[in-house]
Amino acid sequence: MKLLEERIVQDGRVLSEGVLKVDQFLNHQIDPALMQAMGEDFANYFEQKGITKVITIEASGIAPAVFTGLSLDVPVVVAKKNVGITMTDELAAADVYSFTKQQNYTISVSKSVLSKNDTVLIIDDFLANGQAALGLMSICQQLGAAVAGIGIVIEKSFQTGRSLLEEQGADIYSLARIRSLENRQVEFVEENLSQH
Amino acid sequence: MKLLEERIVQDGRVLSEGVLKVDQFLNHQIDPALMQAMGEDFANYFEQKGITKVITIEASGIAPAVFTGLSLDVPVVVAKKNVGITMTDELAAADVYSFTKQQNYTISVSKSVLSKNDTVLIIDDFLANGQAALGLMSICQQLGAAVAGIGIVIEKSFQTGRSLLEEQGADIYSLARIRSLENRQVEFVEENLSQH
């Protein structure tokens, strides 16, 4: 997605060979018009898949996910890291390992919002090691829901996430695929530049 | 907002005299079309205020906030409970007391996303004791930004939040104002029913 790649070049900052800071438009400060364009792009790619629900993880996945849900006209489920006092229904849960924080966290989804009748699109802001998406796939599997695809805002293609998810048979669509962050430069995967 | 009040009656569940569960359309599962309508309603109410940024707290405030930002054509700042490794700029912070969890948590905003040139609209999903909104007001004050108003999805009018915020001179606009949750029934403040 050319609009997103241009924005990454303009406002992103490479903090190290593995870390891209995009908190001016995606994480900490959010550009709603960009989110809307991203949601439309995800919906356009997955529109023939019979999606009944979008799912994401709080907090950074929520903005792209709600615009995708709006475009597909389906509800959005937010897997919770912190289970509040109102989540009184039975839960499905999965442990996710964070390489950044070097620890596990648990994500939870109420059984009342996802079932075997659902065909799910997973949306997340980053794909690096794929652990968050694998956790969401596990929850969908536990609840009998089919995973129709995975939509990613920014894929770090130099990490192992995509291949891990493709081994599970996932159809992954990333709006920006980064080949390298070496020398504090963002280099995109070339096919992406030509396709979008 | 009639659409929201009807949805609360239809899908909300009163768990106790103080707790309303709305995780079928607002917190855990999100209805994007309802969020869009809510965002338009907030934008309509505050459109003459010269808003330059919307601010909210992760995670449940994000969905209504991004649609408000889209309608007002301004960026959305998400105050973080968990400061990630990419938040390397200097931060403004405030402690927020959670009556539900009976403990303090800290919210942080990077100084790079809010300044004295900003006029801010605070958006949050619930107004109960007003502590979260007071924390956001404190951060705006620290960074010299003006607070033009507070938009709330669901106000528990039987709690002290509104009067605390009004003492600070805040212009509060709530889409649904709940007078009572007694006897497991949702009763709205009547003026709200007649206005919307």
* Per-residue CA distances from A21 to A11, A16, A144, A178, B194 (Å): 9, 9, 36, 13, 47
- The pTM (predicted TM-score) of the whole model is 0.96
- Indicate if the pLDDT at residue A195 is higher than 50: no
CB-based burial label for B125 (10 Å; 0-12, 13-18, 19+):
buried
Mean pLDDT value of segment A26-45: 98
Percentage of chain A modeled with pLDDT above 70: 97
Do the chains contact at B59 and A59, CB–CB below 8 Å? yes
**Chain A neighbors of B15, CB-CB under 8 A:** 85-86, 88
Interface A-B, measured as beta-carbon pairs within 8 A, has a size of 129
**Average of per-residue pLDDT values in chain B:** 95
Question: Amino acid identity of A71?
Answer: S
CA angle B157, B163, B166 (to 5 degrees): 125
B11 lies within 8 A of chain A by CB: no
Mutate to test the interface with B, among A66, A81, A101 (most CBs of B within 10 A): A66
A196 band by pLDDT with thresholds 50, 70 and 90: very low
Closest residue to B21, CB basis, from A22, A30, A86: A86
| Residues B41-87: tens digit of each pLDDT | 999 999 999 999 999 999 999 999 999 999 999 999 999 998 888 88
Mean pLDDT value of segment A167-177: 97
| Residues A84-135: tens digit of each pLDDT | 888 888 999 999 999 888 899 999 999 999 999 999 999 999 999 999 999 9
Q: Which residues of A69-98 are buried (b: 16+ CB within 10 A; e: fewer)?
A: bbbbebbbbbbbbeeeebbeeebbebebee
Distance from B117 to chain A by nearest Cα, in Å? Answer: 16
Handedness of CA A141, A147, A153, A155 (dihedral sign): positive
Search chain B and give the residue with CA nearest A66: B32
**Chain A neighbors of B85, CB-CB under 8 A:** 15, 19, 100
Mean pLDDT value of segment B145-161: 98
Domain residue spans of chain A: 2-195
Give the count of alpha carbons within 13 A of A169, CB side only.
Answer: 4
- Identify the CATH number of the domain defined by range A2-195: 3.40.50.2020
